[in-house]
């Protein structure tokens, strides 16, 4: 319980949370005190204090970068490989997720996985539209805003934009990251089917829609997950290794 209390206290500060959020949006990039201070408009000593508290709570890890001309090495801060999560009272679903993936990997029915995950995504979209009294079909910037909202609620650190050729999606946090380490293709297929079903539910599209990967997913070593969404062929069967 002390761990949960510490995390809650550290992230309760708005400035500290915004610093952590900015670092979490680029999980493979290490930053210095000076960079954080400039980005946040803080005095370096204040930025250092916030970074130290995040490090002490285990939310950030540090390394040293030697300077080419000698002198004191710079301290770098970055997101750990395994980020901290907390709930009160504690709940631990990691084992359940790992077992479920093992079961699916050994006896999966691809059509059933697609069907169940897309149905769940549509359910999320339907609930979102009902809560906000939105029309049955969304398009353009209204669609991008809705996808941004839902993806933000799911903790995906999204950047969603509408262009003339369709929806462009960038997700900077993988909520399946730990599970994806053992079964990346399956984890990515589950998440992609869910996300596609959610967008189908917002647009009213069906089998003609396509969620196309643009580069390797985070589950397969990418820095982020990128997709475009438009009408076309079914995207089932794509592996994350084949998405580049």
All structural domains of the chain, each given as residue ranges with its CATH number in brackets, are 2-78 (1.10.10.10), 94-231 (3.30.1380)
| Residue 70 pLDDT | 66
What is the Cα–Cα distance from 147 to 121, expressed in whole angstroms? Answer: 11
Handedness of CA 222, 158, 166, 176 (dihedral sign): positive
For residue 10, give the nearest of 68, 66, 84 by alpha carbon.
84
Give per-residue pLDDT as tens, 81-133.
777 776 667 677 777 888 888 888 887 788 888 899 999 999 999 999 999 99
Give percent of the chain above pLDDT 90. Answer: 42
Per the CB < 8 A criterion, the answer to whether 219 and 184 are in contact is: yes
What is the Cα–Cα distance from 228 to 148, expressed in whole angstroms? Answer: 14
Give per-residue pLDDT as tens, 135-194.
999 999 999 999 999 999 988 989 999 998 889 999 988 888 777 778 888 888 888 899
Per the CB < 8 A criterion, the answer to whether 180 and 219 are in contact is: yes
Residue 243, classified by CB atoms within 10 Å of its CB into exposed (0-12), middle (13-18) or buried (19+), is buried
Per the CB < 8 A criterion, the answer to whether 219 and 176 are in contact is: yes
Any idea which of 36-45, 46-55, 222-231, 235-244 has the lowest mean pLDDT? 235-244
| Residue 222 pLDDT | 82
pTM, two decimals, is 0.71
Per the CB < 8 A criterion, the answer to whether 229 and 213 are in contact is: no
Per the CB < 8 A criterion, the answer to whether 124 and 200 are in contact is: no
What is the Cα–Cα distance from 223 to 75, expressed in whole angstroms? Answer: 22
What is the Cα–Cα distance from 226 to 217, expressed in whole angstroms? Answer: 7
| Residue 208 pLDDT | 65
For residue 244, give the nearest of 231, 106, 223, 41 by alpha carbon.
223
Using the predicted structure, report yes or no on whether residue 33 has a pLDDT greater than 90: yes
| Residue 26 pLDDT | 84
Q: Which long-range contacts (CB under 8 A, 24 or more apart) does 13-22 make?
A: 13/50, 15/40, 15/42, 15/50, 16/50, 16/53, 16/54, 19/47, 19/50, 19/51, 19/54, 20/54, 20/59, 20/60, 21/157
Using the predicted structure, report yes or no on whether residue 225 has a pLDDT greater than 70: yes
Using the predicted structure, report yes or no on whether residue 232 has a pLDDT greater than 90: no
């Amino acid at each position: 319980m002390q761990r949960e209390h510490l995390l809650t206290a550290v992230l309760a500060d708005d400035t500290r949370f915004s610093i952590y959020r900015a670092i979490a949006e680029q999980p493979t990039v290490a930053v210095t005190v000076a960079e954080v201070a400039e980005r946040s408009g803080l005095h370096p000593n204040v930025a250092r204090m916030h970074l130290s508290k995040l490090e002490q709570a285990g939310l950030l890890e540090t390394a040293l970068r030697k300077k080419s001309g000698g002198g004191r090495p710079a301290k770098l801060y970055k997101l750990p490989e395994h980020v901290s999560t907390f709930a009160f009272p504690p709940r631990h679903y990691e084992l359940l997720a790992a077992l479920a993936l093992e079961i699916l990997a050994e006896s999966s029915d691809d059509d059933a996985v697609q069907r169940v995950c897309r149905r769940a995504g549509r359910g999320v979209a339907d609930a979102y539209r009902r809560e906000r009294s939105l029309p049955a079909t969304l398009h353009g910037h209204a669609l991008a805003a809705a996808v941004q909202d839902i993806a933000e609620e799911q903790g995906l650190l999204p950047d969603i934009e509408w262009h003339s050729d369709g929806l462009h999606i960038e997700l900077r946090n993988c909520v399946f990251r730990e599970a994806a380490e053992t079964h990346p293709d399956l984890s990515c297929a589950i998440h992609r089917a869910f996300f596609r079903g959610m967008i189908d539910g917002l647009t009213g599209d069906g089998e003609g829609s396509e969620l196309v990967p643009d580069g390797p997913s985070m589950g397969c070593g990418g820095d982020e997950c990128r997709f475009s969404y438009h009408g076309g062929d079914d995207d089932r069967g794509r592996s994350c290794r084949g998405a580049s």
